[in-house]
Amino acid sequence: MIAVDDLIELVRLYNPNTDEKLLRAAYDYGREMHEGQYRHSGEPYFSHPIAVAAILAEQRLGDATIVTALLHDTIEDTKASYATVSERFGPETADLVDGVTKLTNLQLSSTETQQAENFRKLFMAMSKDLRVILVKLADRLHNMRTIKAMRPQKQIKKAHETMDIFAPLAGRMGMQWMREELEDLAFRVLNPDARASIIRRFIKLQKETGDVVEKITNDMREVLDKAGIDADVLGRAKKPYSIWRKMEEKEMGFSRLSDIYGFRIITHKERDCYAVLGAIHHRWRAVPGRFKDYISQPKSNGYRSLHTTVSGRDGKRVEVQIRTTQMHDVAETGVAAHWSYRDGERAENPFAVDPAKWVSSLTEQFDSEEDHAEFMEAVKLEMYADKVFCFTPKGEVVKLPRGATPIDFAYAIHTRIGHACVGAKIDGMRVPLWTRVKNGQSVEVITADGQTPQATWLDIATTGKARAAIRRALRGLDRERYVKLGRELARSAFEHVNKKATDKALDTAARTLRLPDRDALLARLGCAELTVRQVLHAVYPDLAPGEGSEIPHDIAVIGLEADQSFDRAACCQPLPGERIVGITYRGRGVVVHAIDCDTLSDYDDQPERWLDLHWHEGPHPAVYGVTLNVTIGNDAGVLGRICTLIGEQKANISDLTFVDRKPDFYRLLLNVELRDAEHLHSVISALEAESDVAAIERYRGIDAQLTEL
């Protein structure tokens, strides 16, 4: 574990004016809060926040970010609160720690719909202060470096999460070194045999050819010395995951790969970059199509470099990146360069991107997406795709993902231009709309009045923005006709099960299916994007139990010892299908709580009493009581209809209490016996569709106590 003096000295190397007293206070407070907590490896837990702080110090970040790293788990895992952190270290640090806590609590490995919501929250957190993401990325990097101490199943989950979300995010922010390390650490978990095989091939290759990196580095230094250019040359073999990905993409074996070495040439002046490029191309033959000028056309995260690939010593292909020292700082730290320090002052790097503008440009692209699938499509294209840079006829630059078409180009300029597109010219030549645009090409969009988007464009467009705009336009063209047809289809379907397709029932279906309103629901139903079965089941889902015998209550929970029994906590009334934990009681067995139960905070300082539990998969009997808070109209027969509806959902009312009687409404607590969380959703959906039900919610206001089932 890094000592406080060593951490302070690490920060002082780039920031002699650091507030040593503040860092020491944060170190001591974090160590005190995490006292008695240990990691899976057996190390004191506080070794993790210190390591995260050290990673951020290597990026030369300011005191507030370092302090946040030291405290980033205190609000979540200790008795520390936002108010306490704010009082001791200021509201800026408290906001950052709270932001990291909220990100940590996101369940990123979930269904696509939930994942889309989590990405929205992620970008929202980024828009408030990007340093939250920097701390979270450093947190994930250290966790991946020490992942071997985790259970194998959890290692795989974390590795997938890292490969799918955190590594691309680091790359999108310009922190390429972190992306490469995160990918390689995840690769070690997800495909250890492939990684070991590549490392063995490298060792064998090195024995056969010697140190190729050192030889090529010396060759390049010799070329630069002859040209009179003062520059540093850095060479390395590429990471195992990068090589494996190239093998997969190009469908070739290791022996046939050539560009497995990368070199960086760091100059002092921008004009020297082009001089280096000329010297390298004069000495070695350039590989066609592999040159990129990110100096004249920088990436949105501030990245600038010249990229080229040449046939080097013995015909081996090598990638060369040429940049200045300031460009290199941005290339190493990406958007984080905005906060980096040098010699005690915020570094004045002209290439560092303003994080507020960067996040604003990023989030703008996602705000207009109407549904989760389109949002995820836009996110993945933005985070994962390589870019091409095209020009309008006036010379303006348009950035697109690789593989984009003139349709994408048209919508990137303006939605109106996209809708009116009838053709395109690339470099003055008329081309089909499905043509893939390439770097540096000039694209001219041909438009016509009266043109409307075609359904076939969805097969041509590749960007989320274009596809979302086309879908919206296609829905709008025949919306009125589709709404009318959808209403008739819904009426017929509901009558078939002796129900009425009332506006309230359709509103309930729209909410369940995450659509903005009932007209949107009816339009999608009318144009066959939804089926009547989906709409009907959104309100009255099929409640038939799954095949096989029901799971007895005494073995419903997995994770208990043979002699342990359990009771459900009345404070949260967890149901099969929900995430749960257990709290042990001496002489009273185990009480099962929902993972989000507020009562669990009372046991934060007693980790020895916690049990990792989960429900047995399969059909459960309808014996698990849940309390519903229902407000109904005070009218004849309403309560009877409510009871009938619950009975139709194969649920039983075990208790009923009136808590508020008004002339026009009654509020009552219904205790309903259910099978699982899906059964609860079905009951609530059915009641929400009833016109005399004004409000319904799951009630969790009961004082913590034990319940029999």
Per-residue DSSP letters for 14-71?
T-TT--HHHHHHHHHHHHHHTTT-B-TTSSBTTHHHHHHHHHHHHTT--HHHHHHHHH
**Active-site residue, 230 included:** no
Side-chain half-sphere of 325: how many Cα atoms within 13 Å?
7
Q: What is the DSSP letter of 315?
A: G
Two tokens, residue 372: 């989760």
- Whether the CB-CB separation of 244 and 191 falls below 8 Å is answered with yes
Two tokens, residue 377: 């499509």
Residue tagged active-site, from 76, 117, 488, 578: 76
Biggest alpha carbon–alpha carbon distance for the chain? 99
Q: What is the DSSP letter of 620?
A: -
Beta bridge partners of 81: none
* Residue whose entry in the numeric block shows the structure tokens 């290759």: 205
- Residue 513, burial from CB neighbour count under 10 angstroms (0-12, 13-18, 19+): middle
Task: Name the helix (H) or strand (E) containing 627.
Answer: strand 624-633
Gyration radius from the chain CA atoms: 30
Beta bridge partners of 667: 631, 660
Label the pairing between strands 341-342 and 345-346. Answer: antiparallel
**What's the one-letter identity of residue 130?**
L
- Whether the CB-CB separation of 168 and 102 falls below 8 Å is answered with no
- Whether the CB-CB separation of 318 and 285 falls below 8 Å is answered with no
* Residue whose entry in the numeric block shows the structure tokens 């996209």: 418
- Whether the CB-CB separation of 523 and 477 falls below 8 Å is answered with no
Q: Reduced to 3 states, what is the DSSP secondary structure of residue 265?
A: strand
- Whether the CB-CB separation of 295 and 327 falls below 8 Å is answered with yes
Mark 597-628 as b/e (b = at least 16 C-beta within 10 Å). Answer: bebbeeeeeeeeeebebebeeebbbbbbbbbb
Dihedral of the alpha carbons of 42, 45, 50, 55, in degrees to the nearest 10: 70
**Active-site residue, 77 included:** yes
Residue tagged active-site, from 20, 43, 58, 77: 77
Q: Reduced to 3 states, what is the DSSP secondary structure of residue 485?
A: helix
> What is the set of active-site residues?
76-77
